[in-house]
Structure 1
Amino acid sequence: MDKFTRKTSFEQWFSPLNLILMEELVKTHQLNYYTKKLYMASFMKLLLYAQLHETESLRALSDAVFSDDLQRATGVESISFSQLGRRINTIPTDFFQTIFLDLVAQIHQKTDFQKRRKITTPLKIIDSSTLPLNLTNHKWAEFRKTKSGVKLHLRLVFMEKGLSYPDQAVLTNAIEHDKLQLEVLMDDKECLYVFDRGYLDYERFDRMTDDGYFFVTRLRKNAVIRVLETFSLPEDSNVLSDEMVVIGSTQSRSENVFRLLKLLDTKGNELSLLTNRFDLSADEIAEIYKSRWAIELFFKWMKQHLNIKKFYGHSEQAVHNQVYIAMIVYCLNVLAQLNTNSDRSYLQISRYLKAALWKSAHIWLRKIQGKSVP
């Protein structure tokens, strides 16, 4: 990013958005046809602003347009909440999903993802989080008798120092089982995947192993196993046991052999880890599984600091669109950090941005770079 620019901090922050790609998507989906006022470029800026300020409703966003600064940024002098509602309910989710994936590609490039994968095996974490919805307004989102919900199935690229970022997502009704999305989220044989017990499927583990995919997961305590060989451990190892096993009962036993490790978590509870990697040490496998908490932290951050607690629309499209907008905001914060080589957290970057939203961009940039503002 340039140290000095005439852009506002808000404009500088969303500048990674690919305007050419957006224009192509607008033409493909005919999103500006019959539009007199709320063009997609303006609507996108309004949605980003709403996420930054955790605006709870479209009515509140409509009132926010009273701001002269927001009017200048969006080119919209006034807009009704009903117009905003029609827009978010009718835009195909593919529009926001494509923008999200383009930002992910930029993050890959900034972090030299392709170069890193030649040096070491990239670590990708898979998990899901349920976003509860009101049953009365979202009957399409099947979950339980008393509530509705959608489930965000996510794949997170793990990096050190809290720099992890999402690179693939699937949205389903909350009633859908996690393991149904596992093969969708595993598409790169040069990565190592980490996931929890919700994805247990012995037949799928066999297929994944046969197809050349590597994983580390957690095994249930009541799993039926047969030990074929016990490996020795270093005296200073934190792992309790390291064994070669087959899993499952005689009626449905795995065809491949796997590696079973037992260790204690921070609370003293015993964990059983299953993997098809035999070339790493037991302690390395244990450390890899610990990285799974990065995705828990991501979900926690997303629910606390992004606006996905209250949804602007009742339709499936509107809910999915808002989730993707939230992830777009997260990716923009990641790129702000990468582009400035900042050691600020994403939360700090976002807070400084809100404080300097309409000020010259160089003020915000210097702040997140840790430099004094002249």
Structure 2
Amino acid sequence: MDKNTLFSSFGKWVSPIFSKRFFEDLASSDHDKYVKKLTTSAYLLLFLHAHLQQREGLRAIADDALGRKFQQELGFTSISPSQLSRKHQQSHSNLLQRVFRDLVQRIRLCSLPPAMKRDFRIVDATTIPLCLHTYKWATFRETKAGVKLHFRVAFASSEDVYPERVQLTPARVHDRTQLDTLVDNPGTTYVFDRGFVDYAKFDAFCERRIFFVTRVKKKAAIRYLFDRPVSEGSSIKRDGYVQMGTQQKRMKHVLRLIETTDSQGNPLLLITNRWELSAEEISEMYRSRWAIEIFFKWLKQHVKITSFYGKSQEAVLNQVFIALIAFCLLLLAKIFSACQESLLQIYRWLRVMLWEDSRIWWERLTSKRRKPDP
């Protein structure tokens, strides 16, 4: 990567990636063994740029390398689509996953979420449909293919979330099979929808002091024990002690059941093993789950994640991690600049000022800081 990279807005944006650790990891691997042109650094720059500009295919990415300013940063003046394809297919995702984890760690250290959201994670999954003829390894149904991204997200602020962990599987894999991977930290509260309900795992969570809040399935077997008093006029209709499951497969641990309403006024039954919080706080915690839906929507609209540049599972995984790296870089820019604008606005400004002096973009971000209270 050329030293001039740090002088452009694009270079400023990608700079958190290229740490001493990144180059040490690169040197200890065989990613760039015998590579003279399309190094891993150049590959990352090209595909991060492709995500930012939402390029349609490898030919469009190859054309990006014809830009004079981009050439200075890449270290070459042209690249062929076939070279890009080989690199994308052959690169192992381990290095990209380490880059992603390093960025997540930086976000975690710099984040200032409200107290209620510090030890709070949201777990959910989103499915991306694929062509069965092209992606046979991702067979979903008889006539369909697809991949599923299982996420655990944390709050960086009162509104912004970031992906703390991700698992990619074929779409046919059930959500609850990923609970052991995504829900693993005692003392943390995990919020997830009823697709993750697994009573055996809930018993294990109770024994390990892993907290959870989830929605009850429609036909769930509930054994009511007794109710707590509920304030008159409260949105909470019921707050009680229950055992979940049929007589043959009943949970050993008693859970708390809260009955409230959703945003449309429909009944909402929640179960949790958090006893010290108020029913209103538990209800609000579950409603915060909507943040992950906004995150999914952002990914699908503003980075290249609904169609792929390669056909193999490794190529798809590489593209997913580069997309997540792009998201984390935008969030880091927001955190470091203390900008109060949305990630979408920061993304728009970056695209407009991509090859301008980095100070122009950064001054724009820092001018939008929250003003101190008088």
TM-score interval, normalised by the smaller of the two chains: over 0.9
Q: Which amino acid aligns with 1:176?
A: V
Residue 167 in structure 1 maps to residue 164 in structure 2 = yes
Cα pair 1:122 1:158 within 8 Å, conserved: no
**Secondary structure, aligned partner of 2:241:** strand
Which residue identity does 1:264 align to in structure 2? T
Q: Secondary structure at the match of 1:357?
A: coil
Q: Give the whole-Å Cα distance in 1 for the aligned partners of 2:365 and 2:281.
A: 34
Give the secondary-structure state (helix, strand or coil) at the position aligned to 2:252.
coil
Q: Distance in 1 between matches of 2:40 and 2:18?
A: 13
1:140 is paired with a residue whose SS is helix
- The answer on 1:46 being equivalent to 2:43 is no
> How far has the Cα of 1:190 moved from its partner?
2.3
Partners of 1:120 and 1:99 in 2: CA distance: 25
What letter corresponds to residue 189 of structure 2 in structure 1?
Answer: L
CA-CA distance at 1:332 after TM superposition: 0.3
Q: 2:309 aligns with which of 303, 306, 312?
A: 312
CA contact (8 A) 1:57 1:310 kept: no
| Greater relative contact order structure (CA < 8 Å, 6+ sep) | 1
**TM-score relative to the length of structure 1:** 0.94
Q: 1:87-106 alignment to 2 at 5 Å?
A: 87-106=87-106
Contact 2:118-2:155 within 8 A present in 1 as well = no
CA distance in 2, matches of 1:76, 1:269: 59
| Map of 1:240 onto structure 2 | 237
AA aligned to 2:294 is L
SS of match in other structure, 1:206: helix
Q: Does 1:129 pair with 2:139? A: no
Q: Deviations over 1:297-325 (max 9, x none)?
A: 10011001111122000000000110111
Where do 4+ consecutive residues of structure 1 move more than 6 Å? none
On the 8 A contact 2:112/2:157 being kept in 1, the answer is: no
1:72-83 to 2 correspondences below 5 Å: 72-83=72-83
Superposed, 1:160-199 pairs within 5 Å as 160-199=157-196
Task: Give the superposition deviation at 1:192.
Answer: 0.7
**Alpha-carbon deviations, 1:153-201, whole Å to 9, x = none?**
1001035442211111111111111101111111211211000011111
Asked whether the equivalents of residues 130 and 149 of structure 1 are also in contact (C-alpha less than 8 Å), the reply is yes
Contact in 2 for aligned 1:217/1:273 (Cα 8 Å): yes
- 3-state SS of 2:54 partner: coil
CA contact (8 A) 1:62 1:78 kept: yes
TM-score, structure 2 as length reference: 0.94
The separation in 1 between residues aligned to 2:187 and 2:275, in whole angstroms, is: 16
Query: Would the alpha carbon gap of residues 269 and 159 (structure 1) be closer, same or farther in structure 2, given more than 3 Å must change?
Result: farther
- The partner residue of 2:347 within 347, 350, 364 is 350
Matches within 5 A, 1:1-374: 7-111=7-111, 122-370=119-367
Structure 1 residues 151-160 or 323-332, which shifts more?
151-160
Contact 2:117 2:155 in 1 (8 A): no
Given that residues 127 and 154 in structure 1 are in contact (C-alpha distance below 8 angstroms), is that contact kept between their aligned partners in structure 2?
A: yes
Measured after TM superposition, the shift of residue 99 of structure 1 is: 0.4
State how far apart, in whole Å, the 2-side matches of 1:309 and 1:67 are: 26
Output the CA distance in 1 between the equivalents of 2:117 and 2:283.
17
Q: Structure 2 CA distance, aligned partners of 1:20 and 1:287?
A: 42
Cα distance between partner residues in 2 of 1:159 and 1:242:
31
Alpha-carbon distance, 1:370 to partner: 2.8
Structure 1 distance, partners of 2:158, 2:92, is 35
Gaps of 5+ in 2: 370-374
Cα deviation, residue 35, structure 1: 1.3
Change over 3 Å in CA distance of 1:22–1:6 after alignment to 2: closer
Q: Does the 8 Å contact 1:65/1:71 carry over to 2?
A: yes
Unaligned runs of 5+ in 1: none
In 2, the alpha carbon distance for the partners of 1:96 and 1:141 equals 21
Q: Which amino acid aligns with 2:299?
A: M
Q: 1:283 to 1:6 in 2, by over 3 A?
A: closer
Displacement of 1:29 in angstroms is: 3.0
Q: Kindly indicate whether the alpha-carbon contact (under 8 Å) linking 1:6 and 1:360 is maintained by their aligned counterparts in 2.
A: no
3-state SS of paired residue (1:232): coil
State the secondary structure of the residue aligned to 1:283.
helix
SS in 1 for 2:184: coil
How many residues are aligned here?
365
Cα distance in 2 between the residues matched to 1:371 and 1:265: 35
* Amino acid aligned to 2:144: K
State the shift of 1:237 in Å.
Answer: 1.7
Amino acid aligned to 2:87: R
The percent identity for this pair of structures is 42
1:224–1:247 CA contact under 8 A, matched in 2: yes
1:251 is paired with a residue of what secondary structure? coil
